[in-house]
């Protein structure tokens, strides 16, 4: 009898977990967002097939993709959301806001950063604190993320990385030499 009671308690706790239950008042979009929290890829695909949108925003201004880009365990979920058509440049306003790329860079998630960049995330957008994803990664000391973002920049734009004042770091030297000054800096 003790085994039966423990099984009933385990089963009951599973069905009462926030990943399983869905209040009747939630929309399909909100349900999809909650399934992202749980990492339930099969349910995310099913809800999307049934018409759930990928751009639902919670009280904090987070989309499902932004949420998935904040935890390394949710990398497969981020991959699926992008595959289903989530906006990789969706912007979350306010302090500590930004795009999914800002959040992945802030948390040092190199694989997620590479995924976002390979699907068109723009690395030089500024968040509400006037910081780029590149500046956030530099500030936190995530060198692998910094290199990934820098590598994604077009050659012409790479010079801007030294001008990223949001990081508070000194200008970067390129290949052991200092870049040539711009026309406005030359004064004879």
How many CA atoms, within 13 angstroms, populate the side-chain half-sphere of residue 121? 32
Position 76 scores a pLDDT of: 97
Looking at the predicted structure, is the pLDDT value of residue 113 above 90?
Answer: yes
Phi and psi at residue 30, to the nearest 5°: -65, -40
Architecture field, domain 23-166: Alpha Horseshoe (1.25)
Domain boundaries, the chain: 23-166
- Tens digits of per-residue pLDDT, 54-63? 999 988 889 9
More confident residue, 101 or 159: 101
Are 32 and 54 in contact, with CB atoms under 8 Å apart?
Answer: yes
pLDDT of 26:
74
Residues 6+ positions from 3 with CB-CB distance below 8 Å:
none
Structure tokens at 169: 């770091």
- Banded model confidence at residue 94, pLDDT cuts 50, 70, 90: confident
At 161, the pLDDT band (50, 70, 90 cuts) reads: low
Q: What whole-number distance in Å separates Cα of residue 97 and Cα of residue 75?
A: 20
Tokens at 132, concatenated: 């780029």
Contact predicate 118/85, CB 8 Å: no
pLDDT of residue 159: 56
Compute the C-alpha angle 47/87/74, nearest 5°.
Answer: 60
Residue 23 has pLDDT above 60, yes or no: no
């Amino acid at each position: 009898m003790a085994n039966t009671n423990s099984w009933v308690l385990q089963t009951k706790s599973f069905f009462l977990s926030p990943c399983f239950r869905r209040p009747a008042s939630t929309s399909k979009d909100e349900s999809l967002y909650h399934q992202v929290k749980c990492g339930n890829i099969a349910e995310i695909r099913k809800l999307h097939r049934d018409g759930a949108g990928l751009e639902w925003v919670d009280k904090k201004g987070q989309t499902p993709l932004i949420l998935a880009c904040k935890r390394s365990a949710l990398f497969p979920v981020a991959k699926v959301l992008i595959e289903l058509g989530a906006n990789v440049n969706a912007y979350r306003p306010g302090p500590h806001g930004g795009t999914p790329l800002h959040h992945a860079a802030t948390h040092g998630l190199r694989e997620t950063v590479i995924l976002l960049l390979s699907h068109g995330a723009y690395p030089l957008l500024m968040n509400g604190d006037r910081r780029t994803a590149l500046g956030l990664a530099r500030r936190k000391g995530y060198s692998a993320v910094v290199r990934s973002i820098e590598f994604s920049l077009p050659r012409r734009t790479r010079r801007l990385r030294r001008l990223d004042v949001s990081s508070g770091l000194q200008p970067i030297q390129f290949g052991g030499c200092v870049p040539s000054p711009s026309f406005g800096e030359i004064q004879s």
